[in-house]
Structure 1
């Protein structure tokens, strides 16, 4: 049942669907604008130091490339976003939020950002390359996961969400497409285009229709509780093979979410059904994870009784799926994308570049 029709509401910041700037002589993407930048290891970098290997993701206003460092021979993911499209789609703030959040976080289950840069046409973000591919692909191929497999991924995701919330960050885009597996089979959350540091509540309608919490749809203002709702949807989808609320159009999905009616497949474990019900509570004040004890309430739920929470962030749980990865730069776990030429865009005028001067 898993299909990749799900797209972000308002923004697909970082989930990509367009072409690349290509060198007509080789057909391979070129990285223009090689100003030097400094990486976390204090080495000075420039785009000239990176060879493009392949495209591993495309979306509304950019691409993700696998790149190879010419000096160290290491691999990275380079996200290149078209500035004219970012401006046209009014995504400037989301792009800045993504950088701000990724600059602040450091956790084994979250993608790392190494440096950012922009020229007259693109914004660049250099990040971890995670060769195992998307959890979505494994779910689509298997139809659904068994209870133990769902339990493993849920435990690692709980730790990632708990960490983000401890830093007052709401993730807002939990779904199988945004969970990558590393070469050993552990998760990395990626695509922080919707993530935001919260002072109080926020009112932006963003996310993926099937995963939106009721308070987002109703524009009541929302906070970290939306991530626990999304985890309930994700656990249901992992174990059932389809999300709990689905329809042919977003409005139909929203109506079902607000009605809150759950039909569980008969094979689901008793305790996981109880956990999902406690996440998919319309009243966020009563939603598991959003009460006084926060993530501790989630960890103490009976479905997780076999989990030793101390070893989860140490990556010591045994992954149920180990991706086939032949080497660090293996792209076989990602879809193949044509390296067609990107539309020739006019460089952005200096006044428009002002908004990105600190990027």
Structure 2
């Protein structure tokens, strides 16, 4: 809130391994802003846990703290993931909503103690090679969002001039998606451009800001990765993984349905992606075949987070808005009785049914009949769907979100007999080969055979009006106040999604 005048969480700058009571432990460097400047406070995981427990015991509403894990806790990848999770947790904690009817945790003495005890000047750490600012943590509403635009951390600005525009691969009501090549490094990306006037006219400003925040926070092998975000006076740009395999919808519409093991594999990868989002307190709300993309070898990547909602940790409640794609909406959204993360498991059940049979259950083009069927019609299956798959889908499509499979946790989904053959760690590590390679016959990395011709045949022209070319530098230095905090440069561009979109 604008009235808040206490210490402000900025991000977690990095971590270090230190000796404590004869054993190695990880210390995270929390960056804090106060009127006299920027400071660093060191905290171990157990101090986060103590802070969380004390806040909860005093009645403050807190997001769920990432659980302590004993296996692999000295692994570099685990520590970096834990740093991201803790940064996300603090970010959510600071997102106080006065309409919630609860106390603002930032006003508690516990918060001040956690943020200020043994604080040290930021300058002491800025040149330390062990530190890597967690740019994926979005500026909180309490910190100056303009910081990420003005280069507080001396990150070089990315502009449209850094990319060569190759081919249009998608178009929607708000903008288009273009295959681009970054001039430095020759790497391929997908550039999603949104027209600011359209975004404002259609009241999509907050959805766009949410998409930017979620993309900056989510780091997962089965979620599309944001590499850069920037803006000009007319448009917003997301630079994302290029997924040359195209949409699951594209291939399903041509194959009509998938083999059972193929559908199970994709459903398992989707499960891990949803689990990650829910761990971040994010409900996706737009799972459908059009938003499930394939990387160069056939792994899935979830995309398009414009309908996502942050700060949701309950399966059945947390938000009330009516949104989503009609064919995949659960009863609780149709009836506007409130919904939570369980809506994503419903949508996964709908998508799995569609992968196995060719159409979602209860499908009809008549919108009212569709909604009536979703609320009341029995769930039936073609003969070829096996009993275990029927039981699994039936659990996902329970109309009561409190009884729906996954409403308590993703483990409910992962432990179902439908996934008895899945080694979840191997799947997460991408060690299990995908059942289908959509790019197997591609002649080169720039081939766009997995995208609709109506898009790829469009004239590329420029993503920005040509008359604005000379204004790009000045525009980038004067971003729209409506979209402050939009700019993003990934802290370690090539460390994620190793081969995705490589030229």
TM range (shorter): 0.7 to 0.9
Q: 5 Å matches for 1:291-302? A: 291=408, 294-302=409-417
Q: Is the 8 A contact 1:260 1:282 kept in 2?
A: no
1:85 to 193, 198, 202: 198
Q: How does 1:166-177 map to 2 (within 5 A)?
A: 166-177=279-290
Q: Does 1:164 align with 2:291?
A: no
Structure number with higher helix proportion = 2
Looking at structure 2, the residues matched to 343 and 37 of structure 1 have their Cα atoms a distance apart, in angstroms, of 22
Q: Which of 313, 331, 349 does residue 214 from structure 1 map onto?
A: 331
| Pair 135,37 (structure 1): closer, same or farther in 2 beyond 3 Å | farther
Counterpart mapping for 1:175-194 below 5 A? 175-194=288-307
Q: TM-score, normalised by structure 2?
A: 0.60
* Deviation of 1:194 (Å): 1.0
Residues 268-283 of structure 1 correspond to what in structure 2 (within 5 A)? 268-283=385-400
Inter-partner Cα distance in structure 1 for 2:180 and 2:467: 25
CA displacement 1:55-95 (0-9 Å, x = unmatched): 11100110001111112111111111011111111100100
- Please give the per-residue CA displacement for 1:127-186, whole angstroms capped at 9, x wherever unaligned: 111111111111111110111111110111111111111111111111111111111111
1:318 Cα deviation after fit: 2.0
The residue aligned with 1:267 is: 384
In structure 1, the residue matched to 2:258 is 145
Equivalent residue, structure 1, for 2:483: 356
What is the aligned partner in structure 1 of residue 230 from structure 2? 117
* Cα drift, residue 330 of structure 1: 2.5
TM-score by length of 1: 0.83
Paired residue for 2:168, among 34, 47, 55?
A: 55
Distance 2:203 2:162 in 1: 31
1:74 pairs with 2:181: no
Counterpart-to-counterpart distance in 2, 1:92 and 1:253: 30
The alpha carbon displacement at 1:260 in A equals: 4.2
Measured on the aligned residues, the alpha-carbon RMSD in Å equals 2.6
- Residue 197 of structure 1 corresponds to 310
Q: Distance in 1 between matches of 2:342 and 2:357?
A: 23
C-alpha offsets along residues 290-319 of structure 1, whole Å, 9 cap, x if unaligned? Answer: 02xx11111111111111112111111221
User: 1:152–1:317: 8 Å Cα contact kept in structure 2?
Assistant: no
Which residue of structure 1 lines up, in the alignment, with residue 34 of structure 2? none
Preserved contact between residue 66 and residue 129 of structure 1 (Cα < 8 Å)? yes
Return the alpha-carbon distance in structure 2 between the equivalents of residues 42 and 53 of structure 1: 26
How far the C-alpha of 1:46 sits from its partner, in A, is 2.0
Question: Displacement of 1:329 after TM fit?
Answer: 2.6
Structure 1, unaligned stretches of length 5 or more? 1-35
Aligned residues: 319
CA gap 1:255/1:346 in 2 versus in 1, 3 angstroms: farther
Aligned to 1:331: 448
- Match for residue 232 of structure 1 among 322, 343, 349: 349
Higher relative contact order (CA 8 A, sep 6+): 1
* Contact preservation (8 Å) 2:166, 2:460: no
Looking at structure 2, the residues matched to 211 and 333 of structure 1 have their Cα atoms a distance apart, in angstroms, of 24
Cα pair 2:165 2:460 within 8 Å, conserved: no
